[in-house]
């Protein structure tokens, strides 16, 4: 899944690399869900998974 960073954070899974606002990352569905739950990212491309809301699915 592709996500966009909303708040800067240090990525524990990648040697504490600083992820900056607006950065786009490709991560697993489980990791995307975690980062969205922590409110540091938003999903921008679910690759056929369930969209977060019907409005986002319309594009």
- Closest to 41 in 3D by CA, of 24, 58, 54, 53: 24
Domain that holds residue 21: 2-45
Note the pLDDT of residue 50: 53
Residue 59 lies in a domain: no
Residue 39 lies in a domain: yes
Q: Which carries the bigger pLDDT value, residue 29 or residue 59?
A: 29
Sign of CA dihedral 41, 43, 52, 1: negative
pLDDT value at residue 49 = 52
Q: Is the residue at 15 inside a domain?
A: yes
Q: Is 27 within a domain?
A: yes
26, two tokens: 């490709």
pLDDT tens column, 4-57: 999 999 999 999 999 999 999 999 999 999 999 999 999 998 765 555 555 554
Asked if residue 45 lies in contact with residue 39, where contact means CB atoms within 8 angstroms, the answer is no
Q: Is residue 53 part of a domain?
A: no
The number of domains in the chain is 1
pLDDT at 46: 72
């Amino acid at each position: 899944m592709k996500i966009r960073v909303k708040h800067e954070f240090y990525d524990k899974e990648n040697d504490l690399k600083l992820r900056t606002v607006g950065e786009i990352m490709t991560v697993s569905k489980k990791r995307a869900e975690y980062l969205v739950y922590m409110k540091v990212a938003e999903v921008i491309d679910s690759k056929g998974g369930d969209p977060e809301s019907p409005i986002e699915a319309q594009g």
